[in-house]
Amino acid sequence: MTEAIRAENLVKTFGNVVALDGLSMQVARGETLGILGDNGAGKSTLIKILTGYHQPDSGQVFVDGKPVQLGSVDGARGFGIECVYQDLALVNGLSIYHNMFLKREILWGGPFGFLNHREMRRRAREALEEIGIAISSVDLEVGRLSGGQRQAIAVARAVMSNARILLLDEPLAAMGAREAGLIIDLIDRLKARGDIAIVMIAHNYAQTLEICDRVILVQHGQITFESQAAATSAEQLLDIVRREYRAARAGLG
């Protein structure tokens, strides 16, 4: 499998807090990597560096094997990196297709730049069909959709804009089993395309092992465990974290 994105020796500090302490990771095309770890372990900082939101103090990011400066969120998008945040960044009062094209609207030619609703509807429908999301109409207001459908729209928007590296921040958070199933199926279909590298942050060990090809555990800004998902059990991960808690409590005592 060809490498999509790689980070080497990322260090990021906020004042006295070391968020990332020389972390290295890589993901290949068609691969799904799960990032596990406690709050404050450094997962979010890692994602925010990969989306260009934060700049690392030191270390290097590579896309397609070439060193890059992401610089900003727009810069990272230029390299095909898209992130679906937990808040999904959807506008409830707008239709599905308006949301999918927000700030990337298709316009008619000509001096006034009127919105080409017809073309946006058509392409939104196509994009949803392509990744197998069944929705009766792209004219529906996003606010009327379920949590799973909204998540699916946010993912579809990222994929439609030619994301080749898709970062998902807790895509299954606060979702019922049926809704989660919708998203897991969607991730499976994206994986099957083989051209997208997916990095997802998650809390639920069992679910993550189910969805991802490989998992890493981040603790104190470093990777403390890495394994193929098929060769890993939730027990194993739990054991490591349990040891951590005990050590922390002993330290406090």
Partner 1 sequence: MAEGAEGGLARRAYAFLLRPEASVIVVSVALVIYFEIANQNFLSTANVQTLSQFVAAPVIIACGEIMLLICREIDLSVGQVFALAPFLMENINDLGVPEPLAIVGALAVCALIGLTIGLITIGLRVPSFITTLGMLFLITGLTLTISRGYPANTAGEPWLIGFMGGWSYSEILWALAIVAVMHIVLRHTRWGLHTVAIGGNIVASGEAGIAINRIKIANFVLTSTLGGFTGLLEAFRVGSIDPLAGGSNMMFLGVASGVIGGTAIAGGAGTIIGGLVGGIMLGVMQDGFTLQGINAFTFDIIIGAAILIAMVANIHLARLRGGGAQ
CB of 94 to partner 1, least distance (A): 6
- If the CB atoms of residues 15 and 111 are measured against partner 1, the closer one turns out to be 111
Q: Which H/E stretch holds residue 180?
A: helix 177-193
Phi, psi of 197 (to 5 degrees): -95, 130
**4, 27 contact by CB (below 8 A):** yes
CB of 200 to partner 1, least distance (A): 19
CB of 82 to partner 1, least distance (A): 12
CB of 3 to partner 1, least distance (A): 28
- If the CB atoms of residues 68 and 73 are measured against partner 1, the closer one turns out to be 73
Residue environment code for 159-183, b if the CB has 16+ CB neighbours within 10 A, otherwise e: bbeebbbbbbbbbbeebeeebbebb
For binding to partner 1 (CB under 8 A), which residues are involved? 73-74, 85, 87-94, 98, 102-103, 105, 107, 112-115, 117, 143-144
- If the CB atoms of residues 106 and 223 are measured against partner 1, the closer one turns out to be 106
Q: Tokens in use for 201?
A: 């942050």
Rounded Cα–Cα distance for residues 184 and 208 (Å):
10
Q: Which H/E stretch holds residue 193?
A: helix 177-193
Cβ neighbours of residue 1 under 8 Å, at least 6 residues apart? 28, 29, 30, 31
- If the CB atoms of residues 11 and 106 are measured against partner 1, the closer one turns out to be 106
CB of 18 to partner 1, least distance (A): 27
Residue 37 C-alpha from the chain's centroid: 15
- If the CB atoms of residues 50 and 216 are measured against partner 1, the closer one turns out to be 50
Rounded Cα–Cα distance for residues 70 and 49 (Å):
8
- If the CB atoms of residues 134 and 252 are measured against partner 1, the closer one turns out to be 134
CB of 56 to partner 1, least distance (A): 21
